[in-house]
């Protein structure tokens, strides 16, 4: 009898672990490619592995050994119950960003609002908001034309009518007044390079990760640009690095002295969001 599924994947997983790479990645990619649930896996794991599956596992293992991210191998990533195309021109969406989307949706109803997503990448934030709040007019901006191509494909696949604009920060919208600004901008400082996972450093787009001024440059830009564009009762939702809460809060407090600025934590308890809203509403 030939190799069984669990033996092949167990070996592959151990091989990755010895290289200091997450061993579960190979099973994750395998199950995704097969369209198998965990239950399917339990039903099939003792079966003899098909030759084409064994070949695919070997190919995927080689790429994973080179620190190639599993989601780039698959070409997609799931976010907020939707499937999004990803490639090397886009960041892989993180679970923390789902919390930012969730927070924004919980605090704002489905009435007509003008919403701008800066640094949209794959489009996950803007598209997820539009699908949940059809009455919102959502514009998504990115400095990367390659990322916008993917975001536009995602919006088309998911039937989310959004305006996409190539440009830097809020400049492309001119004097348009907005109700909600939401952004997961590049916020990693160059000093944090050594702390990054090897797969992120090697394959994910640097312009979507790193920012000058200790990772604060884009927040400084958005605080300045939002001053004249945010409606009086407008809100801002920002994802931040876990050490940036106070710095980002101060930046926006200076720009919006009459607003309520709140630092919020993610499910892991790390500072992950800064939310700017009207004091009257917080009341």
Residue ranges for the known binding site for substrate are 184-187
Residues of the binding site: 119-123, 142, 184-187
Residue 41: count other Cβ atoms within 10 Å of its Cβ: 16
Backbone angles phi, psi at 126, to 5 degrees: -60, -45
What are the strands, taking DSSP E only, across the chain?
A: 76-79, 82-85, 114-118, 137-142, 163-166, 178-183, 230-239, 259-265, 271-278
Measured between alpha carbons, how far is residue 218 from residues 59, 169, 203, 238 in Å? 39, 8, 22, 11
CA–CA dist 98, 200 (Å, integer): 19
Residues of the binding site for S-adenosyl-L-methionine: 119-123, 142, 184
Task: Sheet containing 163-166: give its strands across.
Answer: 163-166, 137-142, 114-118, 178-183, 230-239, 271-278, 259-265
| Residue 111 and residue 176 in contact, taking contact as beta carbons nearer than 8 Å | no
| Residue 159 and residue 132 in contact, taking contact as beta carbons nearer than 8 Å | no
């Amino acid at each position: 009898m030939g190799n069984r599924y669990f033996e092949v994947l167990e070996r592959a997983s151990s091989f990755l672990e010895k290289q200091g790479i997450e061993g579960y990645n190979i099973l994750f990619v395998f199950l995704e490619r097969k369209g198998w649930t965990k239950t399917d896996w339990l039903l099939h794991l003792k079966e003899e592995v098909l030759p084409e599956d064994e070949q695919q596992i070997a190919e995927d293992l080689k790429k994973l050994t080179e620190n190639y991210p599993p989601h780039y191998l698959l070409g997609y990533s799931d976010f907020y119950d939707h499937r999004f195309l990803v490639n090397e021109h886009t960041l892989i969406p993180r679970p923390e960003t789902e919390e930012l989307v969730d927070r924004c949706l919980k605090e704002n109803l489905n009435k007509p609002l003008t919403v701008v997503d800066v640094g949209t990448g794959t489009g996950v934030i803007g598209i997820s908001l539009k699908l949940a709040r059809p009455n919102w007019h959502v514009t998504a901006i990115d400095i990367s034309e390659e990322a916008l191509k993917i975001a536009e494909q995602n919006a088309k696949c998911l039937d989310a009518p959004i305006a996409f604009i190539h440009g830097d920060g809020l400049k492309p919208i001119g004097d348009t007044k907005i109700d909600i600004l939401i952004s997961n901008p590049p916020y990693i400082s160059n000093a944090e390079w050594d702390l990054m996972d090897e797969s992120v450093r090697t394959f994910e787009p640097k312009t979507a990760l790193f920012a000058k001024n200790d990772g604060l440059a884009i927040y400084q830009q958005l605080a300045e640009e939002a001053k004249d564009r945010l409606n009086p009762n407008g809100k801002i939702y920002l994802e931040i690095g876990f050490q940036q809460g106070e710095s980002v809060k101060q930046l926006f407090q200076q720009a919006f002295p009459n607003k309520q600025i709140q630092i919020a934590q993610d499910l892991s308890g790390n500072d992950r969001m800064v939310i700017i809203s009207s004091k009257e509403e917080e009341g």
